[in-house]
Amino acid sequence: MARKGDVVIDIEKCKGCEVCLAACPEEVLALSNEVNSKGYHYTVKVNANCIGCANCAVVCPDAVITVYREKK
């Protein structure tokens, strides 16, 4: 079993580009139906399958995502 992870998404900074969605191996992320104050649909978690790999945060052009992973 992979270690469990979690992400914190700064939704006000998100521009809804979907680059993080494409990079997530666990299909944890999706775009919201709502928009932020800039009018962008933002990234949200849709399940608890995050493994803390940080792929999403690494490819996010706007440094929106912070990643955590439980210790062994």
Partner 1 sequence: MSENNIISPENLVYSKTEVMTDRVLHYCPGCGHGTAHRMLAEAIDELGIQGDTIGVAPVGCSVLAYYYFNVDMQEAAHGRAPAVATGIKRVFPEKYVFTYQGDGDLAAIGTAETIHACNRGENILIVFINNGIYGMTGGQMAPTTLPGMKSSTSPRGRDVKTMGNPLKITELIAQLPGTYFVTRQSVHTPGNVRKTKRALKKAMEYQKLNKGTCFVEIVANCPSGWKMTPVQSNKWMEEHMFPFYPLGDIKVPE
What are the residues binding partner 1 (CB under 8 A)?
Answer: 4-6, 8, 13, 15-19, 21-23, 40, 45-48, 52-55, 57-63, 65-71
Query: Under a CB-based contact definition with an 8 Å cutoff, are residues 56 and 12 in contact?
Result: no
Distance CA 64, CA 17 (A): 11
Taking CB within 5 to 8 Å according to partner kind, which of partner 1, ligand SF4, none is near residue 51?
ligand SF4
Site for ligand SF4 contains 16 (CB under 6 A)? yes
Site for ligand SF4 contains 36 (CB under 6 A)? no
Q: What is the largest CA-CA distance in the chain?
A: 40
Site for ligand SF4 contains 19 (CB under 6 A)? yes
